Structures are given as C-alpha cells and as structure tokens.
C-alpha cells in the first residue's frame, strides 16, 4: 500500500503519505481484509504506519468498520513496538475501538516509555497512549 512516508518533524506534527494511501482512503468501504493482510507481513514500518493511519481515518470518518475487534491479533503484534509513530497510531485505534484486550498493552507501553523514552521521537507518543487509557477508564 505504501512506498514512502514523510514522518513528523519539528515543523509538522503528522505523517504525510504517498498518493496510494490517500486513494485507498477515498475508495474505502469498511472492509478490513487488505489492512489485516498487510499487518500480518508488512514490508516495513512505513507500511504498518500507513495501515494504522488508514484504520484511524476510517474510524474518525465514521466509516462502518464491522467487527474491527477481529483484527486485534494482527494489531497486537505491534503492542511491544518502540516506534513512536506506530505507538501513537496504534493507541489511537485502541482509543476509538476500546478492544478490551488492548487495555493492558497500553499500560505496558506507557510504563515502558517512562522507563526508556523513545529516542527518535519528534513528539511524545505518551500523550495518545495516556489519552487512550483515560478513555478506557471513562
């Protein structure tokens, strides 16, 4: 799905994706098959970030995503990631879906980041992780 991602920097707090990602978003219909398959065996972290971005956008836009909890096994594969971009987007998905099994991994992610803060982050992924935890508790 993706061949290049421009990651956040000092001047921009969000990722910018190639045209294929935005075209996929325009033609989405709530089917998670392609995202699920891509998350199983991604070519790179860029692909994971793009998949999570698309899923987040679908949830934000109110696209009816049936049985989103069914892709938790593919999502949970990234619960231990140190990549701040993946952490942020994954926490966003968990925040919007409130998949029960994701609460513990969010807490672990936050604690791990407190012990070993991400070194290459231009922003703090703990803001989204903490927000997701608070939404679970609300």
- Which residues make Cβ contacts (< 8 Å) with residue 128, sequence separation at least 6? 87, 88, 91, 92, 95
Q: Residue 60 burial by CB count (10 A; 0-12/13-18/19+): exposed, middle or buried?
A: exposed
Q: What is the pLDDT of residue 22?
A: 77
Contact at 8 Å (CB) between 126 and 113?
yes
Given this model, what pLDDT does residue 75 score?
A: 97
- Which pLDDT tens digit goes with each residue over 14-65? 888 887 787 777 766 777 888 899 999 999 999 999 999 999 988 888 777 7
Average pLDDT of the segment spanning 84-102: 94
């Amino acid at each position: 799905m993706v061949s290049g991602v421009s990651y956040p920097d000092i001047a921009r707090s969000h990722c910018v994706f190639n045209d294929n990602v935005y075209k996929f978003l325009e033609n989405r219909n709530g089917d998670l098959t392609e995202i699920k398959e891509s998350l199983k065996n991604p070519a790179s972290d860029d692909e994971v970030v793009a998949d999570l971005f698309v899923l987040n956008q679908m949830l934000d836009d109110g696209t009816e995503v049936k049985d989103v909890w069914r892709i938790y096994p593919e999502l949970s594969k990234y619960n231990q990631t140190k990549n701040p971009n993946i952490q942020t987007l994954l926490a966003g998905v968990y925040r919007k879906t409130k998949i029960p099994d994701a609460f513990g991994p969010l807490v672990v992610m936050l604690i791990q980041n407190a012990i070993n803060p991400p070194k290459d982050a231009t922003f703090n992924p703990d803001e989204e992780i903490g927000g997701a935890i608070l939404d679970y508790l609300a």
